[in-house]
C-alpha cells in the first residue's frame, strides 16, 4: 500500500535545493551538502543493483576508478575536463563490466563480499602503482574544470550546483530505469530467476547491464570529486565508505530505490552532525543503527509513516 | 628457494585455513555469512596483546584465554542478535553481521586506540635446514595450527556433537526430527567457528599487525578461501587456505608485496570463471 502523494511530494524539494546557496554561503555546510549529494548518487547506484538482486558492497571501487580515470585523462592525456569526465566514467564502466563477468556468477552473498574485495583491490592498486597512479600519496594539484558560462568553479558554490545537477540527472535516469521494462525485468530476476529464464530472459545480460549503468554513474561522480577536492588518493575507494553506502540504502528502505536512497543518506549524514557524534565512534553509531533498522524497521525509514498509520488504525479498531 | 617459499606458504596458508574453516563451519551449520568473523580474529590478536604482552601471562594460557574471549563474544553475538533473525532473508542477516562488525571494531578501537600493538615473539631463533630459514616461532604456529585443525577434524568426525553439526549442515529439518537440538548446535558451531578465528588471531599476534582495523581483511581472506573451496566444506577450506597461501607467497616473492592481494583476488576470480561453486563444492542433493 503506497501512501498517495508521499513520493511525489519529494520533487518539490528540488527548487529549494537550488536556492540554498543563496542563503547559506558557509563552506562547511555547502561541503556537507555536496557530500550528501555524492553519497545519494552512490546509494542510488547501489539501489539500482539491488533491484536485480545484486548486493554490492563496493560502490566506492567505481567511485575511485572514476576519480582516477578522469584525473589521469586531464593530467596525463591533457584532455579538457568536460571530455575527461564522461570518458573517465566510460572507462570505469568498461573495466567494471569486464571484472564483473565472473563475479556475477558467484552465489548470492559471496557476490557481496567479492564487491567489497574489489574496493580493497582498487585501493591497493592505486596505492602501490606509484608511477602511474601516484601511490599512497595520491595525485595532487588537480586543476579546475574549464568554465561553463558564468560558472568558473572559483568557489564552492559552483561545485555545489555542479553536484546538484549531477545528482538530479542521476535521480531522473535511475527512476526512469526502475519504472521501465528494465526495472520490471530486474525485479523479476530478483524474485525468481528460474521463472525469468523460462520466459526467455537472460539474467546474466541484465545483471551485467545493471553493473554497467551503476558503475558509469558512480564513476561520473568520482570524476566530479577529483577537481572538487583537488587531490585524490587510494582511500577514495575505501571499503568503509562502500559499507556505509549499503547502510544508507537499507536504512532508507530497499523497496524504495529513489526515496530510500535519498532519505537514508540524508538522515545518516545529518544525524551524526546534529548529535555531534565524535568521529571515532561513528562506525559504532552506524552499526547500531543498522542493527536497529534490520530488527525493528526492516523495510526502512520510508515505511515509517506506513508503520505509524498501521499502528494507529490497529489501536482504533480495538 | 622453493623450499623456503613452501615453508612460508605453510604458515600463511594454515592461518588462512584456520580462519576459513571457522567461517565455513558457521555457514555450513547456520547458513549465516558472518561478516564479523574477521573481528573475532582481531579480538583474539588484541587479547593476546593484553594477556601476553601487557599482563605477561605465559604464552599458552594467554592463547587459551584469547581464544576463549573470541568464543564468548561469538556466542553472545549468536544468542542475542543473530538468533532473532535466523531464517530470515540472507540480506538481513548479512546486514546484521555488518552492524556487529562495526560495533565490535569500534568497541576495540575505543578501548585500545588505533595504533598497532606490539606483541613480542614467543621464541626467537632460527633453524636452518639446507638453505631454508625457519624461524622457530613460525614452526610453532604451524604446529599449533595443525593440532587445532586435527582437533576440529576429529571433533567433526568422531564426536556425537560434531556429527550432529554435520547432520544439520545437510538437512536441518531431518536433524531436528532425529532429536538433535538445533538451537544449541547453532550456538556451538558459532562458538567453535569463533574459537578458530580467535586462535588464529592469537597465534599470529607476534607476526602480523595487531590493530582494531585488521578484521575485514581476515574476513575477506576467509571469503576468498571459501570461494576457492566451496561453501560449507571444512576439509576443502583447509586445502583452499593452503592453496591461497601458496599463491600469495609465490606472488609476493616474484612480484613484491604490494600486489599480493591483487594476485590472490585475481586467482580467485579466474577460478570462479571455471568453477563458480568452488573446487570442492558439496554436491547438491
Best residue in A105, A117, A119 to probe B by mutation, most B CBs within 10 Å?
A: A117
Judge whether A278 is closer than 8 Å to chain B, CB to CB: no
- Using one digit for the tens of pLDDT, what is the confidence trace for A30-84? 888 899 999 999 999 999 999 998 999 999 999 999 999 999 898 888 888 888 8
Reply yes or no on whether the pLDDT at A6 is more than 60. no
pLDDT score recorded for residue A88? 92
pLDDT score recorded for residue A35? 92
Measured distance CA(A142)–CA(A305) in Å, rounded:
45
pLDDT score recorded for residue A98? 92
pLDDT score recorded for residue B122? 75
Q: Which domain holds residue A75?
A: 8-317
3-state secondary structure of B31: coil
CB atoms within 10 A of CB B142: 18
Measured distance CA(A296)–CA(A85) in Å, rounded:
42
- Using one digit for the tens of pLDDT, what is the confidence trace for A154-203? 788 888 888 999 999 999 999 999 999 999 999 999 988 889 999 999 99
The answer to the question of residue A1 being in a domain is no
The answer to the question of residue B282 being in a domain is no
Q: Name every chain A residue with its beta carbon within 8 A of the beta carbon of B110.
A: 280-281, 284
- Nearest in space to A40 (alpha carbons), one of A135, A199, A172: A172
Measured distance CA(A17)–CA(A4) in Å, rounded:
23
Contacts of A253 (CB under 8 A, 6+ apart): A259, A260, A263, A264, A299, A300, A301, A302, A303
The answer to the question of residue B280 being in a domain is no
Pairwise pLDDT comparison (A143 vs A163), residue with the higher score: A163
pLDDT score recorded for residue B5? 80
Reply yes or no on whether the pLDDT at A291 is more than 70. yes
- Using one digit for the tens of pLDDT, what is the confidence trace for B77-111? 888 777 777 666 777 888 888 899 999 999 999 89
pLDDT score recorded for residue B264? 84
The answer to the question of residue B284 being in a domain is no
Contacts of A104 (CB under 8 A, 6+ apart): A54, A111, A204, A207, A208, A211
- Spell out, as residue ranges, where chain B has pLDDT lower than 70: 86-88, 281-285
Rg (CA), chain A: 20
The answer to the question of residue B279 being in a domain is no
The answer to the question of residue B219 being in a domain is yes
How far are the Cα atoms of B136, B242, B254, B255, B266 from residue B249, in angstroms, in the given order?
Answer: 19, 10, 9, 10, 14
Q: For B252, list phi and psi in degrees, rounded to 5.
A: -60, -45
Q: Do B105 and A246 touch (CB under 8 A)?
A: no
The answer to the question of residue B127 being in a domain is yes
Q: Name every chain B residue with its beta carbon within 8 A of the beta carbon of A289.
A: 99
| Residues of chain B with a CB closer than 8 angstroms to some CB in chain A | 33, 35, 81, 84-85, 90-92, 94-96, 98-103, 105-107, 109-110, 216-217, 219-220, 223-224, 226-227, 231, 258-259, 261-262, 265, 269-270, 272-273, 276-277
CATH assignment at residue B131: 1.10.3470
The answer to the question of residue A3 being in a domain is no
Handedness of CA A111, A116, A117, A119 (dihedral sign): positive
Q: Which residue has the cell 574489489?
A: A118
Measured distance CA(B78)–CA(B84) in Å, rounded:
9
pLDDT score recorded for residue B284? 45
The answer to the question of residue A299 being in a domain is yes
What is the DSSP secondary structure assignment for residue A304, as one 8-state letter? H
Given a contact cutoff of 8 angstroms between Cβ atoms, the answer to whether A62 and A222 are in contact is yes
pLDDT score recorded for residue A318? 63
Beta bridge partners of A151: A148
Q: Do B107 and A284 touch (CB under 8 A)?
A: yes
- Using one digit for the tens of pLDDT, what is the confidence trace for A79-128? 888 888 999 999 999 999 999 988 888 777 778 888 888 888 888 888 88
pLDDT > 90: percent of chain A? 33
Pairwise pLDDT comparison (A39 vs A274), residue with the higher score: A39
Given a contact cutoff of 8 angstroms between Cβ atoms, the answer to whether A74 and A81 are in contact is yes
Contacts of A51 (CB under 8 A, 6+ apart): A178, A183, A186, A187, A190, A210, A257
Pairwise pLDDT comparison (A291 vs A131), residue with the higher score: A291
The answer to the question of residue A270 being in a domain is yes
The answer to the question of residue A305 being in a domain is yes
Number of structural domains found in chain B: 1
pLDDT score recorded for residue B178? 83
pLDDT > 70: percent of chain A? 96
Considering only alpha carbons, which residue of chain B is nearest residue A246?
B95
Q: How far is B130 from chain A (nearest CA, A)?
A: 34
pTM above 0.95, yes or no: no
Q: Which domain holds residue B110?
A: 2-274
pLDDT score recorded for residue A87? 93
Number of structural domains found in chain A: 1
- Nearest in space to B25 (alpha carbons), one of B141, B168, B144, B142: B168
pLDDT score recorded for residue A128? 81
Q: Cα angle at A271 between A266 and A273, to 5 degrees? A: 105
> Which of A99, A280, A287 shows the shortest C-beta gap to B102?
A287
The answer to the question of residue A59 being in a domain is yes
The answer to the question of residue A50 being in a domain is yes
How far are the Cα atoms of A198, B17, B173 from residue B233, in angstroms, in the given order?
Answer: 32, 12, 20
Contacts of A221 (CB under 8 A, 6+ apart): A38, A41, A42, A63, A66, A166, A170
3-state secondary structure of A151: strand
pLDDT score recorded for residue A7? 58
pLDDT level of residue A224 (50, 70, 90 thresholds): very high
Most confident of the following: A211-220, A290-299, B82-91, B156-165:
A211-220
Reply yes or no on whether the pLDDT at A14 is more than 80. no
Measured distance CA(A261)–CA(A49) in Å, rounded:
12
Beta bridge partners of A148: A151
Amino acid at each position: 500500500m503506497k501512501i498517495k502523494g508521499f513520493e511525489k511530494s519529494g520533487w518539490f524539494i528540488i527548487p529549494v535545493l537550488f536556492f540554498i546557496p543563496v542563503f547559506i554561503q558557509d563552506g562547511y555546510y555547502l561541503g556537507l551538502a555536496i557530500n550528501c549529494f555524492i553519497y545519494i548518487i552512490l546509494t542510488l547506484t547501489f539501489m539500482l543493483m539491488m533491484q536485480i538482486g545484486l548486493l554490492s558492497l563496493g560502490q566506492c571501487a567505481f567511485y575511485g576508478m572514476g576519480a582516477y580515470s578522469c584525473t589521469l585523462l586531464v593530467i596525463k592525456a591533457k584532455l579538457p575536463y568536460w571530455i575527461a569526465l564522461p570518458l573517465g566514467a566510460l572507462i570505469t564502466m568498461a573495466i567494471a563490466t569486464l571484472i564483473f563477468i565472473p563475479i556475477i556468477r558467484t552465489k548470492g552473498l559471496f557476490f557481496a563480499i567479492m564487491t567489497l574485495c574489489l574496493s580493497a583491490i582498487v585501493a591497493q592498486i592505486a596505492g602501490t602503482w606509484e608511477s602511474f597512479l601516484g601511490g599512497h600519496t595520491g595525485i595532487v594539484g588537480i586543476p579546475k574544470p574549464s568554465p561553463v558560462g558564468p560558472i568558473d568553479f572559483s568557489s564552492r558554490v559552483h561545485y555545489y550546483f555542479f553536484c546538484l545537477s549531477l545528482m538530479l540527472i542521476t535521480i531522473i535516469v535511475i527512476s526512469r530505469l526502475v519504472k521501465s521494462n528494465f526495472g520490471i525485468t530486474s525485479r523479476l530476476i530478483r524474485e525468481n530467476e528460474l521463472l525469468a529464464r523460462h520466459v526467455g530472459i537472460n539474467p546474466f545480460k541484465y545483471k551485467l547491464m545493471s553493473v554497467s549503468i551503476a558503475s558509469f554513474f558512480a564513476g561520473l561522480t568520482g570524476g566530479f570529486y577529483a577537481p572538487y577536492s583537488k587531490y585524490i588518493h587510494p582511500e577514495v575507494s575505501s571499503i568503509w565508505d562502500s559499507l556505509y553506502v549499503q547502510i544508507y540504502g537499507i536504512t532508507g528502505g530497499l523497496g524504495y530505490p529513489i526515496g530510500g536512497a535519498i532519505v537514508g543518506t540524508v538522515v545518516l549524514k545529518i544525524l551524526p552532525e546534529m548529535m555531534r557524534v565524535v568521529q571515532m565512534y561513528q562506525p559504532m553509531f552506524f552499526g547500531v543503527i543498522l542493527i536497529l533498522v534490520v530488527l525493528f524497521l526492516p523495510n526502512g525509514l520510508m515505511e515509517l509513516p506506513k508503520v505509524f498509520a498501521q499502528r494507529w488504525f490497529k489501536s482504533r479498531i480495538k | 628457494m622453493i623450499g623456503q617459499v613452501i615453508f612460508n606458504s605453510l604458515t600463511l596458508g594454515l592461518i588462512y585455513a584456520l580462519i576459513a574453516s571457522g567461517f565455513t563451519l558457521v555457514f555450513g551449520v547456520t547458513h549465516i555469512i558472518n561478516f564479523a568473523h574477521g573481528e573475532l580474529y582481531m579480538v583474539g590478536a588484541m587479547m593476546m596483546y593484553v594477556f601476553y604482552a601487557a599482563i605477561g601471562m605465559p604464552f599458552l594460557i594467554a592463547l587459551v584465554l584469547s581464544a576463549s574471549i573470541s568464543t564468548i563474544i561469538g556466542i553472545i553475538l549468536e544468542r542475542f542478535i543473530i538468533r532473532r533473525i535466523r531464517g530470515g532473508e540472507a540480506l538481513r542477516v548479512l546486514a546484521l553481521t555488518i552492524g556487529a562488525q562495526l560495533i565490535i571494531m569500534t568497541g576495540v578501537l575505543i578501548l585500545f586506540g588505533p595504533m598497532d600493538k606490539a606483541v613480542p615473539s614467543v621464541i626467537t631463533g632460527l633453524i636452518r635446514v639446507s638453505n631454508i630459514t625457519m624461524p622457530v616461532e613460525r614452526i610453532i604456529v604451524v604446529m599449533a595450527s595443525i593440532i587445532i585443525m586435527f582437533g576440529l577434524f576429529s571433533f567433526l568426525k568422531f564426536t556425537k556433537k560434531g556429527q550432529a553439526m554435520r547432520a544439520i549442515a545437510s538437512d536441518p529439518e531431518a536433524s531436528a526430527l532425529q532429536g538433535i537440538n538445533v538451537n544449541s548446535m547453532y550456538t556451538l558451531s558459532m562458538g567453535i567457528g569463533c574459537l578458530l578465528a580467535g586462535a588464529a588471531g592469537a597465534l599470529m599476534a607476534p607476526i602480523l599487525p595487531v590493530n582494531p582495523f585488521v578484521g575485514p581483511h581476515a574476513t575477506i581472506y576467509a571469503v576468498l578461501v571459501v570461494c576457492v573451496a566451496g561453501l560449507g566444506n571444512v576439509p576443502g577450506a583447509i586445502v583452499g587456505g593452503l592453496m591461497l597461501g601458496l599463491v600469495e607467497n609465490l606472488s609476493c616473492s616474484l612480484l613484491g608485496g604490494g600486489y599480493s592481494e591483487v594476485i590472490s583476488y585475481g586467482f580467485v576470480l579466474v577460478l570462479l570463471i571455471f568453477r563458480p561453486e568452488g573446487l570442492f563444492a558439496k554436491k547438491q542433493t
